[in-house]
Structure 1
Amino acid sequence: MKYQNKNFYILTGGPGVGKTSVLNELEKSGYTVMPETARAIIKEQMATGGEALPWKSKELYMQLMVEASAESYREAISKNSLLPVFFDRGILDAVCYARMVGLDLSNEIQEIAEHYQYNTKIFIFPPWQGIYKTDEERKQDWKEAEATFEAMKKTYQDYGYEIIEVPKDTVEKRKEFIINRIKQNTSDED
């Protein structure tokens, strides 16, 4: 059975583009926000000496990302929110990662990617060198950040999603842009 929830919105893009700051503001405004699974996996694996890290076992890391993203989707369903639910990345972000590092996708991962569907409009944050920085979990350089943005766009488009680019602006204005686009989308559907 395929799930599609028109109320589930993905915020994605390359690393260090301001997604989390906007998601924090959405959460403060009363929206349900599902946190990024990739960073949680990296933190947990680093703390436990695990192998599921992008610089150790890319395949294991990708597998855990897909599983955690599917679990995040199921958890969001259980919340029964009437308001939009925002995801800090989605299942296809793990698929994009696999493509970028040259991993083959198993039939199981393909099925998960096709099984759990979000709203067809995806909010993508473009690379923004003025706010980009690395940290313990984010080790990509600027060129990788730019390449990730392009790969993310292509992956979501390949799966039939429409890309909405979030303008480079203040956190508040970016939040308002997203909410206004959702309201516009909802009124267009009525």
Structure 2
Amino acid sequence: MASATENSVPSHSVPSHPVPSNSVPSAAERFVVITGGPGAGKSTLIDRLQEAGFARSQEAGRGVIQDQTAVGGRALPWTDPDLFAELMLCWELRSYRDLAAHAARSVSPGSAASAASAGPDSPSPGPVFFDRGIPDIVGYLRLENRPVPAHIDTAAREFRYHRRVFIAPPWPEIYRRDAERRQSLADAERTYASMVTTYTEYGYELVRLPRVSVAERVRFVTEHLSGPLPVVANR
């Protein structure tokens, strides 16, 4: 894995003008990211949105940790953060392309057969929810004081999502550690702050999720996705 500093961007540089993804032009309008610190109810919300019939991605970080642990790999955040980031990027790009392809079929004429044969995570013509996005990888590397490789910055600029990104604030009352989530609550708060900064720099508008029940969060997201939303202050 290349780690030369000349292939990296400064850890706190503001990316140049974001450009649309060259994968599927309409994907950015339908791909909605939900991010935030760990243990803030983000994945629980996305699970509930999936139960309500929305398509979704699976979180890259947790998936990579589970896979690497199963095979004795070293691409783990506590062993090799740079390699961990590379595998997360591969995961996110694969999720983006797979869901973009399914999304294109779901709005194509005569796509009923394709929709019927697709898996349970295949998108409907509505929004597709992403459990974190590519900019999360940039935020993670910054949090770890690691250089951000130029190709990861490029991926974050070119593979775009809906301009409004939902972000779950730290929630001490529900925070729990588990086998994949080893961070402290203080780490979770720093992660949240890093995601606020990173997504803002990549040109997204952040919308803070209220600390309410899962059902109320689902209602908040579905009712306000296309309307005016309160944008998170950059703090």
Give the alignment's TM-score, normalised by structure 1.
Answer: 0.94
Distance apart, 1:183 and its partner CA: 3.5
Q: Which residue of 1 aligns with 2:116?
A: none
Q: Which residue of 2 aligns with 1:27?
A: 50
The correspondence of residues 39-118 of structure 1 with structure 2, limited to 5 A, is 39-80=62-103, 81-118=124-161
Q: Which residue of 1 aligns with 2:169?
A: 126
Q: Matched residues in 1 for 2:198 and 2:179: separation?
A: 26
| Aligned partner letter, 1:102 | N
Q: Matched residues in 2 for 1:17 and 1:106: separation?
A: 28
| Aligned partner letter, 2:77 | P
Q: Matched residues in 2 for 1:158 and 1:183: separation?
A: 22
Distance apart, 1:147 and its partner CA: 0.8
| Aligned partner letter, 2:90 | E
Distance apart, 1:88 and its partner CA: 0.4
CA deviations over 1:61-110 (Å, ceiling 9, x no partner): 01111121111111110111410000000001111001111111222111
SS in 2 for 1:5: helix
Distance apart, 1:2 and its partner CA: 3.7
SS in 1 for 2:53: coil
Q: Matched residues in 1 for 2:226 and 2:77: separation?
A: 37
Identify unmatched segments of 5+ residues in structure 1. 186-190
Q: Matched residues in 1 for 2:149 and 2:37: separation?
A: 24
Q: Matched residues in 1 for 2:198 and 2:20: separation?
A: 19
Q: Which residue of 2 aligns with 1:149?
A: 192
SS in 1 for 2:50: helix
| Aligned partner letter, 1:181 | H
SS in 1 for 2:225: helix
Q: Matched residues in 2 for 1:131 and 1:41: separation?
A: 24
SS in 2 for 1:83: coil
Q: Matched residues in 1 for 2:174 and 2:28: separation?
A: 32
User: Alignment partner for residue 204 of structure 2, among 161, 168, 177?
Assistant: 161
Identify unmatched segments of 5+ residues in structure 2. 1-18, 22-26, 104-123, 229-235
CA deviations over 1:23-63 (Å, ceiling 9, x no partner): 11111111001110110000011111101000000100011
- 1:6 has 2:6 as partner: no
Larger of the two Rg values belongs to structure: 2
Give the alignment's TM-score, normalised by structure 2.
Answer: 0.76
Structure 1: which 4+ aligned runs deviate by more than 2 Å? none
Report the structure, 1 or 2, having the larger helix content: 1
